[in-house]
Amino acid sequence: MHLTCPGSRYGTGFPAWRLPGGAPMNAIELLVEQHKKVAKALETMCKADRVDPAMLRQIGDELVAHMVIEEHVFYPRIRELLEDMTAESFEEHAVARFELARAMIADGEHQKARLTVLKELIEHHVEEEEKEMFPKVRSKLSMDELDQLGTKMKAMFEKAVEMGLDQLVQGQGDLGKVGASKRTSGTRRVQGNASRRGMTASSSR
C-alpha cells in the first residue's frame, strides 16, 4: 500500500478549499475531539470478541482524514512557528497508516494484534500532540487564527471522510471532486484493492 496521501508532500500541492459557512471551530478542540473518538473506537474494537468491519471502516476513514487535515493544514502552520516540531509526527502518521492497512486486511487474532499495535501507536502520538505540541501552538497562535484553522480543517475533514481512505491513501483522491464516485462499504473493497495492488501489508505471517 502506498503510504502517502495525494499532495501530501509536507503541505504542498493540495487543492484550495472552499469553506462552507458555519460557526468557527477551534483547531485544537477539533483535533482533541477527533482523538477521543478514534481512541474510544480502537478501545472498543480491541476488547470486542469480533471486530465490526463497518466500525473499522468508519474509524479508518476518520483516522486517515484526521491525519490529512493535520498534514495539510495544521502541521505546515506549526512548522512556520516551531521548526522541527512535526518531523516525528509525519513519520508516526505513516506508521499508523501502515498498521491500519494491515488491520483491515486481517481477521481473527492477527487483526486484533494489529489493532492493538495501532491503538498503542495512536496513544503515543496523541499524548505527544496534546501534551507537547498543542500547548506550544496555543501559546503562539491567536484564538482567531485557531478558529480559522479549525474551520478550514473541519471542512476538509468532512470531505476527506466522504472520500474514504482508499482514495486518500492510494493517491487517487482529488478532494475537490468529493462525491463524484460512489463508495462501497465494508473491508471487502480494501481486501480487493490490496490484493490487486500487491500491498506490502501482507496478512500472512
Catalog residues that contact Fe ion under the rule CB under 5 A: 31, 70, 129
Looking at beta carbons only, is 4 or 191 nearer to Fe ion? 4
Contact call for residues 71 and 93 (beta carbons, < 8 A): yes
3-state SS string for 165-179: HHHHHCCCCCHHHCC
Shortest spacing between CB 89 and Fe ion, in angstroms = 5
Looking at beta carbons only, is 105 or 121 nearer to Fe ion? 121
Shortest spacing between CB 53 and Fe ion, in angstroms = 24
Shortest spacing between CB 171 and Fe ion, in angstroms = 20
Shortest spacing between CB 198 and Fe ion, in angstroms = 28
Q: DSSP per residue over 145-162, as a string?
A: HHHHHHHHHHHHHHHHHH
Question: Which residues is 12 bridged to in the sheet?
Answer: 9
Shortest spacing between CB 119 and Fe ion, in angstroms = 14
Looking at beta carbons only, is 62 or 70 nearer to Fe ion? 70
- 28-31 contacts at long range (C-beta below 8 A, 24 or more positions apart): 28/134, 28/137, 28/138, 28/146, 28/150, 29/150, 30/150, 30/153, 30/154, 30/157, 31/66, 31/70, 31/74, 31/129, 31/134, 31/153
Looking at beta carbons only, is 69 or 115 nearer to Fe ion? 69
Contact call for residues 86 and 20 (beta carbons, < 8 A): no
